[in-house]
């Protein structure tokens, strides 16, 4: 075996993140590591990459016992890691990002032309061509993912850890990435993939190891298992299928009329958007990231001013209202970026859970502590959030558990309209089931739901109507009955525009 991790145990005080975990990897193998949020996947890989030290256990690479004090020592042994949130310098070129730390020089000065040539050669060698002179901030997410992989290949990695590699990619970019992984594996590179997306796991992996509560519940060949078995191993139970009742939509709870937003230098970010969400329906917004979805959400929720048109919530024009007033008018909002818009990382789980609820729980100017703690504790239990205590700092939660906390907080509002933007990004299959069930429960109770998601399966499963955005405009609308992944993908790429 190229890599062997034996009996890895990791304690954080009284909390055990990994318990006697065994994991191995062969040359040219793709080995997926799956499990619920907080199951111990990331901790295990942080140990392998030198970001954490195990409480006990051993690691062998190519038959030699190793101990990594930091990522640099792991890289020296041929281990590279591509993190969920890309670690690139946006203002640098592709070539500069790839060679950083091992820059080619002439006379002690960085040689940009040589760097570009090396990167171009590297891309051709591994079948992942890039423009070495492109500025990273102007590259789509799929290309940035490619830059991250080429960066670890340039540094000499034989073992590449990919943490949630497809979380921010379009369907086409996902397909390209999976093809690239298979191609690199045929060339002898080995991959460990941490992901929640079991259909992708089945498509690209040779073997799959499942963790639950820090322990291995199974290691299986992909050819000998299926998504249903993996789901049971992950959550310890059968998952419930989402069932939508036949509901006749009511009055419009959201009306967007002729909405336009201009960016720097007058560039149109949104152009003449007309959109309606009625009580008791889910309207899905599909589109490649960066085509106006974020601006639309921000305009509706009061986070961005508009230049043309109007937005009405339950018949009331909300233009010019601040965020709190819009919320009190009947809006709940699961934001697309949990760290930027959804949480205060230096605050506690309790404080983050109470955001937007705190003014309803005040007596004589002070939040009623006992009632507040009871409320947040109930949400933690309902959504299976691994948070320790409500006094724990929220930055100690995994990304998926933070997402569940934010979702629980917003579901608890008595709202007319719920905006759910990327509601299941980074969460495990069990949490996804809970969030999807709650979205449909809200819809069945007469709430209008605006679902914005880059996951077409999520859009298709939950939506009653689907609106596709392209370059700041609505490219078309499809009923759930007529929608297919192919039709939506075509509209997302600017084809078959509907007028």
pTM over 0.85: no
What is the pLDDT at residue 142?
82
- Cα→Cα distances 346→350, 374, 441, Å: 12, 21, 32
The Cα–Cα gap between 147 and 90 comes to 12
- pLDDT value of position 499: 46
Instruction: Specify the pLDDT at position 169.
Output: 75
Q: Evaluate whether 332 touches 419 at the Cβ level (below 8 Å).
A: yes
**Residues across the chain:** 499
pLDDT digits (tens, 9 = 90+) for 156-203: 999 999 988 887 677 777 888 899 999 999 999 999 999 878 888 999
Q: How far apart are the C-alpha atoms of 319 and 277, rounded to whole Å?
A: 17
Beta bridge partners of 417: 331, 448
Which residues lie below 8 Å from residue 350, measured CB to CB, with a gap of 6+? Answer: 372, 373, 376, 390, 391
**What is residue 244's predicted lDDT score, i.e. its pLDDT?**
80
DSSP characters for 42-72? HHHHHHHTTSS--SEEEEEETTEEE--SSHH
Complete domains list, the chain, with CATH: 3-235 (3.40.50.300), 252-492 (3.40.50.300)
Q: Which residues contact 153 (CB under 8 A, 6 or more apart)?
A: 80, 122, 126, 160, 184, 189
**357 DSSP assignment:** T
Q: Which residue has the tokens 């509907």?
A: 498
Q: What is the rounded distance in angstroms from the CA atom of residue 48 to the CA atom of residue 60?
A: 10
Q: Over its length of 499 residues, how does the chain's per-residue pLDDT go in tens digits?
A: 899 999 999 998 888 999 999 999 999 999 999 988 778 998 999 999 999 999 999 999 999 999 999 999 999 999 999 987 788 999 999 999 999 999 999 988 999 999 999 999 999 999 889 999 999 998 888 889 899 999 999 999 999 999 888 876 777 778 888 999 999 999 999 999 998 788 889 999 999 999 998 999 999 999 999 988 998 898 887 777 777 878 889 999 999 999 999 988 888 999 999 999 999 999 999 988 788 999 999 999 999 999 999 999 999 999 889 999 999 999 999 998 888 888 998 899 999 998 888 666 666 556 666 788 888 999 999 888 888 889 888 888 888 889 999 999 999 999 999 999 999 987 878 888 889 999 999 999 999 999 999 888 899 999 999 999 999 999 999 998 898 888 888 888 777 655 4
- What pLDDT shows up at residue 364? 55
pLDDT in tens, 43-86: 999 999 999 999 999 999 999 999 999 999 999 999 999 987 78
55, 214 contact by CB (below 8 A): no
* Vertex 203: Cα angle to 435 and 155 (nearest 5): 100
Give me the pLDDT at residue 497, please: 57
What's the DSSP call for residue 240? P
Q: What is the pLDDT of residue 85?
A: 78
Q: Return the pLDDT at 372.
A: 81
């Amino acid at each position: 075996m190229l890599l062997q991790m034996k009996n890895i145990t990791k304690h954080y005080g009284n909390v055990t993140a990994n318990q006697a975990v065994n994991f191995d990897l062969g040359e040219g193998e793709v080995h997926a590591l799956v499990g619920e949020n907080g199951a111990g996947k990331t901790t295990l890989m942080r140990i392998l990459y030198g970001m954490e030290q195990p409480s006990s256990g051993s690691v062998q690479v190519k038959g030699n016992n190793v101990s990594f004090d930091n990522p640099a020592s792991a890289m020296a042994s041929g281990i590279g890691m591509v993190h969920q949130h890309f670690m690139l310098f946006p203002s640098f070129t592709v070539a500069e990002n790839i060679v950083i730390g091992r820059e080619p020089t002439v006379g002690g000065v960085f040689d940009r032309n040589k760097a570009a040539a090396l990167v171009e050669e590297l891309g051709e060698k591994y079948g992942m061509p890039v423009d070495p002179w492109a500025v990273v901030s102007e590259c789509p997410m799929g290309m940035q993912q490619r830059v991250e992989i080429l960066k670890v290949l340039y540094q000499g990695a034989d073992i590449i850890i990919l943490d949630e590699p497809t979380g921010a990619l379009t369907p086409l970019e996902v397909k390209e990435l999976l093809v690239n992984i298979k191609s690199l594996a045929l060339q002898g590179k080995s991959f460990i993939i941490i992901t929640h997306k079991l259909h992708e796991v089945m498509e690209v992996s040779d073997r799959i190891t499942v963790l639950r509560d820090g322990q291995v519940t199974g290691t299986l060949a992909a050819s000998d298992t299926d998504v249903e078995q993996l789901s049971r191993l992950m959550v310890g139970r059968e998952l419930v299928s989402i069932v939508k009742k036949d509901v006749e939509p009511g009055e419009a709870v959201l009306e967007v009329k002729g909405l336009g937003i201009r960016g720097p230098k007058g560039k149109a970010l949104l152009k003449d958007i007309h959109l309606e969400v009625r009580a008791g329906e889910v309207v899905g917004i599909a589109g490649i990231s960066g085509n106006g979805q974020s601006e639309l959400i921000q305009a509706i929720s009061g986070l961005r001013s508009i230049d043309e048109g109007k937005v009405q919530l339950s018949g009331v024009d909300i233009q010019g209202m601040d965020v709190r007033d819009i919320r009190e008018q009947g809006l709940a909002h699961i934001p697309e970026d949990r760290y930027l818009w959804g949480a205060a990382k230096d605050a506690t789980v309790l404080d983050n859970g109470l955001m937007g609820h705190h003014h309803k729980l005040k007596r004589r100017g002070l939040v009623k502590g006992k009632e507040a703690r009871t409320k947040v504790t109930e949400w933690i239990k309902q959504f299976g959030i691994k948070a320790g205590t409500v006094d724990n700092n929220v930055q100690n939660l995994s990304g998926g558990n933070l997402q569940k906390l934010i979702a629980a907080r917003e579901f608890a509002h008595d709202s007319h309209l719920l905006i759910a933007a990327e509601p299941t990004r980074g969460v495990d299959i069990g949490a996804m089931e809970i969030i999807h069930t709650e979205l449909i429960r809200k819809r069945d109770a007469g709430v209008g739901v605006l679902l914005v998601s880059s996951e077409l399966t999520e859009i298709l499963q939950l939506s009653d109507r689907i609106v596709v955005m392209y370059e700041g405009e609505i490219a078309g609308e499809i009923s759930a009955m007529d929608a297919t992944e192919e039709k939506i993908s075509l509209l997302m790429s600017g084809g078959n525009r509907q007028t």
